[in-house]
Amino acid sequence: MLNTKFHTPVMLREVLEYLDLKPGKVIVDATLGTAGHSENILERILPGGGLIGIDRDEESLSIARERLSKFGFAAKFIHGNFVDLDTLLENLKVSKVDGVLFDLGISSVQLQDTGRGFSFQREGPLDMRMDKDSYVSAYDLVNNLNEEELSTLLWNFGEERWHNRIARILVQEREKHPITTTLELADIVARSIPSRYRYHHYRIHPATRTFQAVRIAVNRELEILESAVNKAIAILNKKARICVISFHSLEDRVIKFAFRRAEADGLINIVTPKPLTPAQSEVVANPASRSSKLRVAERI
């Protein structure tokens, strides 16, 4: 099992505050991961409360089970996709809950596991599947989509400025041999971008947006997000809250408009008209938090 000491839950203080946790409440962590948020949530809803943790990644669930074992039956674990939130809870005979959390970031545990293929800084197979039982991998998309499809994917899911150049060179390179590893893809992307544009003022890796785009496409992340948020709102008790942490503008946009539509329909009040961002002290301590945004809404 991978060491989880480097996994730090993002915006933990804000999540605990805005979920308005009290003993006896039932909370759903729809993106359980390795339970960084959930461990702290459980400490605040016991005695009498319970947490339902959902994740697509069986390895993360295994880590979470071990981490939360001290809470006994107060924690329940489900291997599944949060887009099926309603059905998953129905199977547990749970109709209403007192809070839902979505943390849409990829965990450090997944990034550290070279076999998962999420990191452009570590050599590994071109995979990127959150759920290993999923059919389509990053390898399939990178090696089978045509140039136009690749270009569209990179723009729609990564807002990559150089999507046309990257797509064209990817197709040229894969004609020589299939692109099979993360470092190979990262190198091709870096070479596709003019040298003077390879790093912007944050000096992020030039393959960052490409890897984001491919990962989102592989896991259908944006496609399922609005539906999952709507289902979460539907199962909230009156005055219960939904908290969503996003990490890039595409996710945040989906959440913003999903909340606005639900508010217009009279289902929620938006608690955070503008998203909350982490304190500078958190960004210094955990640079991975720098792009995170938290939106909160409350059921009417």
Q: DSSP string spanning 156-192?
A: HHH--TTHHHHHHHHHHHHTTS---BHHHHHHHHHHH
pLDDT score at 120? 84
**Alpha carbon distance 24, 8 (integer Å):** 26
**Region for residue 158 given its phi and psi (left: phi exceeds 0; alpha: psi -120 to 50; beta: otherwise):** alpha
Q: Is residue 3 part of a domain?
A: no
Question: Could you say which of 156, 191, 219 is where a domain stops?
Answer: 219
- DSSP, residue by residue, 35-103: -HHHHHHHHHHTTT-EEEEEES-HHHHHHHHHHTGGGGGGEEEEES-GGGHHHHHHHTT---EEEEEEE
Amino acid, single-letter form, for residue 46: L
Written as six digits, the tokens of 208 are 């960052």
Q: Is residue 238 part of a domain?
A: yes
In terms of domains, do 54 and 132 share one? no
Q: Is residue 214 part of a domain?
A: yes
In terms of domains, do 124 and 105 share one? no
Q: Please say if the pLDDT value at position 112 is more than 60.
A: yes
Q: What share of the chain in percent tops pLDDT 70?
A: 95
- Helix (H) or strand (E) holding 6, with range, is none
pLDDT in tens, 154-182: 999 999 999 999 999 999 999 999 999 99
The angle at the Cα of 25, spanning 272 to 105, to the nearest 5 degrees, equals 50
In terms of domains, do 183 and 239 share one? no
Reported as a pLDDT band with limits 50, 70 and 90, residue 113 is: confident
Reported as a pLDDT band with limits 50, 70 and 90, residue 199 is: low
Q: Please say if the pLDDT value at position 7 is more than 80.
A: no
In terms of domains, do 124 and 273 share one? no
Question: Could you say which of 202, 219, 236 is where a domain stops?
Answer: 219
Q: What is the CA radius of gyration of the chain?
A: 20
Looking at the DSSP bridge assignments, the partners of residue 164 are none
Instruction: Name the pTM for this structure.
Output: 0.89
Percent of residues in the chain assigned helix, strand, coil, to nearest 5: 50, 15, 35
Give the number of other CB atoms < 10 A from CB of residue 81: 20
Distance in Å from the first CA to the final CA of the chain: 43
Q: Please say if the pLDDT value at position 6 is more than 60.
A: no
Q: How does the average pLDDT of the chain come out, rounded? A: 92
Characterize the bridge pairing of strands 293-299 and 236-246.
Answer: antiparallel
Q: Is residue 36 part of a domain?
A: yes
Q: What is the CATH number for 33?
A: 3.40.50.150
Reported as a pLDDT band with limits 50, 70 and 90, residue 4 is: very low
Reported as a pLDDT band with limits 50, 70 and 90, residue 110 is: confident
Reported as a pLDDT band with limits 50, 70 and 90, residue 135 is: confident
Closest CA to 156 of 135, 136, 141, 134: 141
Q: Is residue 4 part of a domain?
A: no
Tally of domains in the chain: 2
**Alpha carbon distance 200, 257 (integer Å):** 29
**Alpha carbon distance 96, 240 (integer Å):** 10
In terms of domains, do 105 and 27 share one? yes
Q: Please say if the pLDDT value at position 79 is more than 90.
A: yes
Written as six digits, the tokens of 35 are 């339970």
In terms of domains, do 70 and 213 share one? no
In terms of domains, do 102 and 191 share one? no
Structural domain including 132 reads: 114-219
In terms of domains, do 215 and 277 share one? no
Question: Could you say which of 195, 219, 243 is where a domain stops?
Answer: 219
Spell out the long-range contacts of 282-287 with Cβ–Cβ below 8 A and sequence spacing 24 or more: 282/10, 282/11, 285/8, 286/8, 286/10
pLDDT in tens, 25-78: 999 999 999 999 999 999 999 999 999 999 999 989 999 999 999 999 999 999
Q: Is residue 283 part of a domain?
A: yes
In terms of domains, do 241 and 99 share one? yes
In terms of domains, do 204 and 128 share one? yes
In terms of domains, do 17 and 77 share one? yes
Q: Please say if the pLDDT value at position 1 is more than 80.
A: no
Reported as a pLDDT band with limits 50, 70 and 90, residue 198 is: low
Q: Please say if the pLDDT value at position 3 is more than 60.
A: no
Amino acid, single-letter form, for residue 214: V
Reported as a pLDDT band with limits 50, 70 and 90, residue 200 is: low
Reported as a pLDDT band with limits 50, 70 and 90, residue 255 is: very high
In terms of domains, do 173 and 214 share one? yes
Q: What is the CATH number for 172?
A: 1.10.150.170
pLDDT score at 195? 77
Sole residue written with tokens 């304190």: 279
**Alpha carbon distance 300, 291 (integer Å):** 30
Tell me if 271 sits within 8 A of 15, measured CB to CB. Answer: no
